[in-house]
């Protein structure tokens, strides 16, 4: 055994001993505080010295001082009729609560005064039971959820740094806080003045960039625990190894079904297509030019169904005066992001035939081989099989879960 190994063993022993001593010291400290907190207190109703509580005689409350005549408020019941003993129990002894008309004590009251009830030696009210919160707007199938519960509410501004740091990570992450006034969860924003005692941090386990890493999960749990500790709370983190396994399985499935279908229309005999003519046909098919120079067909929810782009590198432009021509165009269908995908694929195929006919081109596959109807039917069959697999996995095409995973 070399000196380095001996040194490491010695350091480890010292650390373990230090931890044991620290825990012993903390336990001893808390026990002492508990004894001081719960030690017996003097009963102010006992006629005795502190420490002789068990031997002292109890001084019962009386209603009139010696030699004082009873006073009555006209129309009110007599004093002895107002007293109603209510038995309560405590940790050390039993006490009796009295409800009395204090308007008859010590001084006569005018006839128009209102009797007031007073409770002697009342017990403190118990805290209201905790209300079960509704589930947060997260997805337990694809999210790694960390829950924070704090005694001191955390203002949104106190989480600005953590939220910004999580965004830099490149993974989809969501911060939700429970708003008791609204009775619902809301996304935390630093510009809000709201504060939260119940917080959920949701990290998406996988996306098109791959599965989440172990370091990422560890760092997020550490960040959450530090934040909870600052505000006298706790952070509950799920088991990291099982989360990594879920992330890996989810990522492998997503890679297998992440298919982009392309139908190409190319010119014949090295001729070119006019950019203005392509724009005219695209707009006639209810497609809109996006900022990236791609025409898009969207549904009622403003989600892209399929798109039309230049087969070459130059994007389409809205400037009709700019000279533009190309040897081909491509229709793209992002399979996992489209709901009712088979119907959408049929619409795209029909548009591809129309463009091919009106531009004088031919329909080809990605290898620039002529695409027959039999080839299109084969693609459609493969699309149907993929959608069925996604449905069985609980990730329906075009669903909210699918849009998150394939973003």
pLDDT value at 364 more than 50: yes
Residues 225 and 273 in one domain: no
- Of 233, 254, 275, which marks where a domain is finished? 254
Res. 35 pLDDT band, cuts 50 70 90: low
How confident is the model over 305-325, as pLDDT tens digits? Answer: 999 999 888 899 888 677 789
Residues 190 and 222 in one domain: yes
Q: What is the pLDDT of residue 130?
A: 54
- In the DSSP assignment, the letter for residue 366 is T
Res. 127 pLDDT band, cuts 50 70 90: very low
- Of 227, 254, 281, which marks where a domain is finished? 254
| Assigned domain for 65 exists | no
Residues 194 and 295 in one domain: no
How confident is the model over 91-122, as pLDDT tens digits? Answer: 443 333 434 343 443 444 444 443 433 333 33
pLDDT value at 40 more than 70: no
Determine how many CB atoms are found less than 10 A away from the CB of residue 45: 15
Q: How much of the chain, in percent, has pLDDT values that exceed 90? A: 55
Res. 42 pLDDT band, cuts 50 70 90: low
Q: Is pLDDT larger for residue 174 or for residue 67? A: 174
Long-range contacts of range 356-361, CB-CB < 8 Å, 24 or more positions apart? Answer: 356/265, 358/281, 359/265, 359/267, 359/273, 359/277, 359/278, 359/281, 359/329, 360/267, 360/268, 360/271, 361/265, 361/266, 361/267, 361/268, 361/273, 361/328
* CATH code: domain of residue 228: 3.30.1400
Q: What is the pLDDT of residue 88?
A: 41
Mean pLDDT of 208-226: 94
Q: What is the pLDDT of residue 55?
A: 46
| Assigned domain for 86 exists | no
Mean pLDDT of 265-282: 92
Q: What is the pLDDT of residue 112?
A: 44
Mean pLDDT of 282-290: 95
Q: DSSP characters for 370-400? A: B--HHHHHHHHHHHHHHHHHHHHTT--TTSH
Q: What is the pLDDT of residue 3?
A: 81
3-state secondary structure of 168: helix
The mean pLDDT value of the chain amounts to 80
| Assigned domain for 304 exists | yes
Residues 399 and 263 in one domain: yes
Q: What is the pLDDT of residue 14?
A: 87
| Assigned domain for 110 exists | no
Residues 347 and 217 in one domain: no
Residues 193 and 243 in one domain: yes
The count of structural domains within the chain is: 2
Residues 276 and 387 in one domain: yes
Give the ranges where 77-198 is alpha helix by DSSP (H).
Answer: 79-82, 160-168
pLDDT value at 56 more than 50: no
Q: What is the pLDDT of residue 137?
A: 95
Q: What is the pLDDT of residue 370?
A: 92
The token duo for 155 is: 């203002």
- The boundaries of the domain holding residue 205 are 143-254
| Assigned domain for 335 exists | yes
How confident is the model over 11-23, as pLDDT tens digits? Answer: 889 888 888 887 8
Q: What is the pLDDT of residue 304?
A: 95
Residues 262 and 389 in one domain: yes
Residues 295 and 379 in one domain: yes
- Of 209, 237, 254, which marks where a domain is finished? 254
* CATH code: domain of residue 263: 3.30.1400.10
Residues 264 and 401 in one domain: yes
pLDDT value at 181 more than 60: yes
Res. 128 pLDDT band, cuts 50 70 90: very low
| Assigned domain for 59 exists | no
The backbone region for 121, taken as left when phi is positive above 0, alpha when psi lies in -120 to 50, beta otherwise, is left
| Assigned domain for 80 exists | no
Q: Indicate the pTM of the whole model.
A: 0.65
| Assigned domain for 270 exists | yes
Q: Which of 144, 267, 309 is nearest to 213 (CA)?
A: 144
Q: What is the pLDDT of residue 38?
A: 53
Residues 223 and 185 in one domain: yes
Residues 282 and 384 in one domain: yes
């Amino acid at each position: 055994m070399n000196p380095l190994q001996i040194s490491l063993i010695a350091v480890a022993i010292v650390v373990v001993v230090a931890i044991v001593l620290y825990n012993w010291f903390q336990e001893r400290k808390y026990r002492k505080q508990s004894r001081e907190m719960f030690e017996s207190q003097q009963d102010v109703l006992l006629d005795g010295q502190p420490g002789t509580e068990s031997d002292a005689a109890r001084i019962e409350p009386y209603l009139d001082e010696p030699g004082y005549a009873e006073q009555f408020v006209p129309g009110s019941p007599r004093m002895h009729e107002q007293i109603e003993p209510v038995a309560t129990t405590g940790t050390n002894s039993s006490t009796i609560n009295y409800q009395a008309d204090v308007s008859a004590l010590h001084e006569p009251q005018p006839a128009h005064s209102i009797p007031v009830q007073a409770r002697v030696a009342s017990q403190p009210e118990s805290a209201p039971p905790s209300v079960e919160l509704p589930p947060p707007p997260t997805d337990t199938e694809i999210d790694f959820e960390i829950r924070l519960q704090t005694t001191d509410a955390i203002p949104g501004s106190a989480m600005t740094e953590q939220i910004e740091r999580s965004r830099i990570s490149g993974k989809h992450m969501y911060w939700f806080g429970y708003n008791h006034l609204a009775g619902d969860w809301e996304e935390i924003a630093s510009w809000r003045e709201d504060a939260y005692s119940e917080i959920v941090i949701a990290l998406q386990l996988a996306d098109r960039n791959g599965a989440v890493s172990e370091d990422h999960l560890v760092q997020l749990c550490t960040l959450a625990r530090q934040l909870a500790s600052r505000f006298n709370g706790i952070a509950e983190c799920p088991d990291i190894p099982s989360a990594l396994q879920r992330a890996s399985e989810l990522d492998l499935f997503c890679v297998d079904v992440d298919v982009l279908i392309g139908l190409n229309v190319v010119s014949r005999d090295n001729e070119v297509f006019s950019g203005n003519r392509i724009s005219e046909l695209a707009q006639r098919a209810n497609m809109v030019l996006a900022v990236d120079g791609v025409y898009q067909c969207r549904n009622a929810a403003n989600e892209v169904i399929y798109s039309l782009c230049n087969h070459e590198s130059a994007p389409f432009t809205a400037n009709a005066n700019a000279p533009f021509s190309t040897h081909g165009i491509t229709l793209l269908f992002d399979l996992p992001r489209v709901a009712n995908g088979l119907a959408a694929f049929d619409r795209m195929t029909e548009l591809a035939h129309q463009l091919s006919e009106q531009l004088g081109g031919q329909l080809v596959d990605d290898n620039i081989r002529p695409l027959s109807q039999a080839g299109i039917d084969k693609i459609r069959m493969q699309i149907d099989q993929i959608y069925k697999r996604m449905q069985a996995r609980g990730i329906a095409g075009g669903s909210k879960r699918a849009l998150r995973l394939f973003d």
